[in-house]
Amino acid sequence: MVHFYDHVDDSLLKFAVIIAKHKDKWIFCKHKQRNSWELPGGHREPGERIDTAAKRELYEETGAIAYTITPVCAYSVSMCGREESFGMLYVADVQIFESELHSEIEKIRITDCLPDVWTYPDIQPYIIEEYTRRSNICK
């Protein structure tokens, strides 16, 4: 189950996930060891600021080198009786990419459509839905 919050204590934030766009199209990543698509993002390193983690993950997973990035909201995931895990959701508008990727990501896809096969189908479609809902409220 995914929940969304306007604010949570920074010490709880373990992940950064980025809804990345390029020319109003979605950017999704394909990990080298998976046959599915995901939003860029990942774990926060010890001592790292959550916004720094978001920028690092955006670069590592998409090759983005010129972009704007903005926090959207905090979120949490709780599944199968495990402890609730918190992350921060960002949106990024990417203008320029590096010529090649230097991480575990095999390739990126820039598209108008959401993936048919998600790496995290119980989480990331809900993140997109919440981002879309919040974006429409602000218009």
Tokens of 118: 């998600």
CATH of the domain at 41: 3.90.79.10
Q: Which domain holds residue 78?
A: 2-137
The count of domains in the chain is 1
| Beta-bridge partners for 75 | 4, 87
Q: Provide the whole-model pTM.
A: 0.93
pLDDT digit string, tens, across residues 6-25: 999 999 999 999 999 999 99
> Strands (DSSP E) along 1-139, which ranges?
2-5, 13-22, 25-31, 41-43, 64-77, 85-97, 105-111
Residue 119: which of 20, 2, 32 has the closest Cα?
A: 32
Helices assigned H by DSSP within the chain: 50-62, 124-137
36-53: per-residue pLDDT in tens? 999 999 999 999 999 999
